[in-house]
Amino acid sequence: MDKSSGRRGHFAPPRLSLRFAAVWRRNFLVWKKLALPSVVGNLADPVIYMLGLGYGLGMLVPQIEGVSYIAFLAGGTLCYSTMNAATFEALYSGFSRMHVQKTWEAIMNAPIALDDIVAAELVWAASKATLAGTAILAVIAAFGFTASPLALAAIPVIFLTGLCFAALGLIMTALAPSYDFFMYYFTLFITPMTLLSGVFFPQSQLPDVVRHIADALPLSHAVSLARPLLLGQMPHNIALHAGVLAAVTVAAFWLALALTRRRLLT
């Protein structure tokens, strides 16, 4: 009788427990040591882009969908910087902990299962992205690019976006032989998606064929939720957009877990 888990074994449903919290707390305690530079680092880049493009390009673009270009850009910036924060954490920091520092190996020697570790990485990367996104939201509000209390409803959208891209990132982490591998993910997936998802310009500008593809991208769904909220409007099709983000999260997490089990448990 062969007891080892074959392909089917790796794809067994995730077995999750509250023990993931101890691993999440470990990452939080490390983050706390460098919290200020970390938040500033997550904040500086998107804010510079938003102000630079918003004011610079905004001079040439009178209005988009009835609002100033920079107000249009704010919702997109919020989503793509949340995506970036989650992605960087799941990729580079996750890979450091899994492969370089052997942190996961140490934790697996304690009574914590790999499933809980990967779940903790997912929730942690989403938490960090939520911190980054909320900080950007605060900057957006401070500049007066959003004035509606509805903007607060963008925070759960930020968290869901963080979960979604953390889960996608963990797939790459499970496959990566080294840090260099992540470059492909950025150039082949993250960057094109950022350009197609209505972050910088409305998707109505895209040719029809491209637009259908773009509509399916998870970042499009995040933008479709966050932008109206920042402009003080209720988004259309909330259930659809949130549902897609949630479904991608679940499917990507499952796949990431299966690949990580294959990598570490055989």
Residue ranges that bind other proteins, judged by CB under 8 A: 1-5, 9, 19, 22-23, 25-26, 29-30, 33, 101-103, 105-113, 264-266
DSSP string computed for 52-102: HHHHHGGGT---BTTB-HHHHHHHHHHHHHHHHHHHHIIIIIHHIIIIIS-
Pick 82 or 103: Cβ nearer other proteins? 103
Given the complex with other proteins, which of 30 and 206 has the nearer CB atom? 30
Q: At what angle do helices 69-88 and 114-142 cross, to 10 degrees?
A: 160
Contact 43, 139 (CB under 8 A): yes
Non-local (6+) Cβ contacts of 54 within 8 A are: 69, 70, 73, 74, 145
Closest contact distance (angstroms) between CB of 134 and other proteins is 24
CB of 16 to other proteins, least distance (A): 13
Q: At its nearest, how many Å lie between other proteins and the CB of residue 249?
A: 25
Which residue type does 27 have? Answer: N
Q: Which is nearer to other proteins, 138 or 265 (CB)?
A: 265
- Closer residue to other proteins, CB minimum distance, 99 or 227: 99
CB of 257 to other proteins, least distance (A): 16
Q: What is the three-class DSSP state of 81?
A: helix
Q: Shortest Cβ distance from residue 48 to other proteins (Å)?
A: 28
Q: Which residue's structure tokens are 């007066």?
A: 144
Nearer to other proteins, 4 or 204 (CB): 4
3 state SS of 67: strand
